[in-house]
């Protein structure tokens, strides 16, 4: 049996960071195994991308709120993570607040990537916040998740220059290129020192 750390990847969107992680695993740059990919949204592209890699994928039941899971979905999530023997929870474009049940089940084992140089520009559309603030550089941050939004201990950051003429879309696209480099290497570092 393999003794690689077992990751559960949670995402609500297109899953490009998930793909970067799985490609790093396949290339031998990240010593881990993706045990399951979970989405809160049944149509999220991350689910199809997980299936294309032959990885188990699961969708949570609907929640009555937009920004957090309801009790049924929260219980389903914990059940899925247990069933797949997940040891780490890796958020990759997961758009819901992480609450106590998950935080307590995986203490210091939930990791996120955020598209800014935290602590600046927490929250949604951080690249647009950076553009509106007129900063010369922004970037991305890999951090541990705690009960405060985008405020857990920082693991690694990568800078991205804001260029003249950048739109929210062009800037976000360059930040995503940086994310795809940073996330696998930052995660590898965490797993090595765990």
CA distance 46 to 18: 7
Q: Does 17 bind ligand GRF (CB under 6 A)?
A: yes
Segment 124 to 183, residues that bind ligand GRF, using CB under 6 A: 140, 176, 179
CA distance 141 to 155: 7
Q: Does 115 bind ligand GRF (CB under 6 A)?
A: yes
Name the minimum Å distance from CB 24 to ligand GRF: 13
Q: Which stretch binds ligand GRF (CB under 6 A): 13-21, 57-65, 152-160, 161-169?
A: 13-21
Identify the sign of the CA torsion 30, 32, 33, 34.
Answer: negative
Q: Which stretch binds ligand GRF (CB under 6 A): 8-16, 55-63, 77-85, 152-160?
A: 8-16
Other CB atoms closer than 10 Å to residue 39's CB: what's the count?
25
Residue closer to ligand GRF (CB basis): 102 or 140: 140
Q: Is 114 annotated in the active site?
A: yes
**DSSP secondary structure of 155-184:** EEEEEEEPPTT--HHHHHHHHHHHHHHHHH
One residue of 11, 139, 152, 184 binding ligand GRF per CB under 6 A: 11
- 110-114: strand order across its sheet: 57-59, 33-39, 6-10, 88-91, 110-114, 137-144, 154-161
Annotated catalytic residue, options 84, 114, 143, 180: 114
Token pair 């049996």 is at which residue? 1
Q: Which stretch binds ligand GRF (CB under 6 A): 28-36, 73-81, 109-117, 160-168?
A: 109-117
The catalytic residues are 114
The site for ligand GRF (CB under 6 A) is made up of 11, 13-17, 92-93, 113-115, 140, 176, 179
């Amino acid at each position: 049996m393999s003794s690689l750390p077992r990751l559960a990847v949670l995402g609500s969107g297109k899953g490009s960071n998930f793909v970067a992680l799985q490609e790093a695993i396949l290339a031998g740059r990240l010593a881990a195994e993706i045990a399951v990919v979970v989405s809160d949204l049944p149509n999220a592209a991350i689910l199809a991308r997980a299936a294309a890699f032959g990885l188990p994928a699961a969708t949570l039941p609907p929640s009555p709120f937009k920004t957090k899971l309801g009790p049924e979905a929260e219980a389903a999530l914990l059940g899925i993570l247990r069933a797949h023997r997940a040891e780490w929870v890796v958020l990759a474009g997961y758009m819901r607040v992480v609450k106590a049940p998950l935080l307590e089940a995986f203490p210091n084992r939930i990791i996120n990537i955020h598209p800014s140089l935290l602590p600046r520009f927490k929250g949604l559309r951080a690249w647009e916040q950076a553009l509106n603030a007129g900063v010369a550089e922004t970037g991305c941050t890999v951090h541990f998740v705690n009960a405060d939004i985008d405020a857990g201990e920082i693991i690694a950051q990568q800078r991205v220059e804001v260029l003249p003429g950048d739109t929210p879309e062009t800037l976000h696209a360059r930040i995503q290129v940086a994310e795809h480099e940073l996330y696998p290497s930052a995660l590898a570092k965490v797993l090595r020192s765990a």
